[in-house]
Amino acid sequence: MHYQIDAFQMRSSRRPCGARMIGVDKGYTEALTDSEGEHHGTRLGTLLAAESDRGKERNRRRAKLRSIANNAARRGDHAKAHRITVNNLGQVKRDRQAARHRAQVRTEIFTAVHRVVDKAATVVAEDLTKSFAGRKRLGKNVNRRLAAWTKAITAEALANVSERRGSAFVHVNAAYTAQACHRCGRLGRRDGDRLHRTVCGVVWQADVNAAINIPRRAGDPDIALHTPHQRVRQILQDRTDRHRTRLPVQDSRPAPPSGERIIPTAQH
Ligand SMILES: [Zn+2]
């Protein structure tokens, strides 16, 4: 499995990167959506759904077998209990299926990133190595674990492919990029894959809208990589309020140096 991926990566490492600045938004149905409206890695959702179903069915079957083995042991039929444990609760087949699935997902995601780098001299994305939820809260939920895992692979692929093909890879603060209308800047309501009720009266595809907003953050004078979530919301609201009341736009605050902590403004 590893050899297939390595060979693929070796071939592609000789391909030059593109010439444009491209923003990407990480999805679940597809690996990436870019700021030109293209979806990449569109088989990802199907692969993950199939694995999620397999995982749940596997857990159900194993629980049933474990209970049969336990009952047999209680009755004193230790031979049967042992047979089930060795033959039916083994790891070998499961490990083989899991390795195959991992390889398919990696190939889908790496291929998606290559398609983006074909066009990009600079790839702009949120820092996918930072997890908002934190690891321990993922628990046994199959879908959440799969989502966290694909996020990590996407982060790895973006860094790795960019480095090998010579594109710059830039992290930006992606807070509210999915909710703010890329045309008027107002916060809309996210409903599944749609962004509704923007002042423009248009319903955007949420991931495309986010991917368009993301590269703009690279040049945003007010929103730095570590600007807190709530502060970002306030900045976005101040901008649209200024626009609405036609007040002169004040000079933008200089972006704080990376790592500087700003006390988040109170919720409103
Ligand atoms: Zn709008």
3-class SS string, the chain: CHHHHHHHHHHHCCCCCCCEEEEEEECCCCCEEECCCCEECCCHHHHHHHHHHHHHHHHHHHHHHHHHHHHHHHHCCHHHHHHHHHHHCCCHHHHHHHHHHHHHHHHHHHHHHHHHHHHEEEEEEECCCCCCCCHHHHCCCHHHHHHHHHHHHHHHHHHHHHHHHCCEEEEECCCCCCCECCCCCCECEEECCEEECCCCCCCEEHHHHHHHHHHHHCCCCCCCCCCCHHHHHHHHHHHHHHHHHCCCCCCCCCCCCCCCCCCCCCCC
* CA of residue 253 to ligand 1 center, whole Å: 24
Instruction: Please tell me the distance from the alpha carbon of residue 8 to that of residue 14, in angstroms, as a whole number.
Output: 11
165 Cα distance to chain centroid: 22
Mean pLDDT, consecutive 10-residue stretches, the chain (268 aa), reads 48 80 93 97 94 87 90 93 80 82 97 98 93 56 84 96 97 94 89 78 88 96 96 94 62 41 32
User: Distance from the CA of 204 to the center of ligand 1, in angstroms?
Assistant: 9
Question: Which pLDDT belongs to residue 136?
Answer: 54
Give pLDDT, residue 142. 75
C-alpha 184 – ligand 1 centre gap (Å)? 4
Output the CA 188–ligand 1 centroid distance in Å: 8
CA 218 – CA 126 distance, rounded (Å): 10
- What tokens appear for 162 in the block? 């960019």
Query: Residue 113 Cα, ligand 1 centroid: separation in angstroms?
Result: 29
Q: What per-residue confidence (pLDDT) applies to 14?
A: 73
Measured in Å, residue 194 CA sits from the centre of ligand 1 at: 13
Residue that is written with structure tokens 């890329």 in the block = 182
C-alpha of 90 from chain center = 32
Tell how far the Cα of 95 is from the centroid of ligand 1, in angstroms.
48
Q: How far apart are CA 223 and CA 254, in angstroms?
A: 9
Q: How many CA atoms lie within 13 A of 211 on its CB side?
A: 25
Residues 89, 82: Cα–Cα separation, whole Å: 10
Ligand 1: centre distance to CA 183 (Å): 5
What's the 195 CA to ligand 1 centre distance in angstroms? 10
Backbone angles phi, psi at 106, to 5 degrees: -60, -45
pTM beyond 0.75: yes
Instruction: Please tell me the distance between residue 199's alpha carbon and the centre of ligand 1 in angstroms.
Output: 5
Residues 6+ apart with CB under 8 A from 86: none
Q: Which of 205, 208, 206, 238 is nearest to 223 (CA)?
A: 238
Distance 78 CA to ligand 1 centre (A): 69
Q: How far is the CA of 237 from the centre of ligand 1 (A)?
A: 13
With contact defined as beta carbons under 8 Å apart, do 187 and 37 qualify? no
Ligand 1 centroid, distance to 108 Cα (angstroms): 33
CA of 189 to the centre of ligand 1 (A): 11
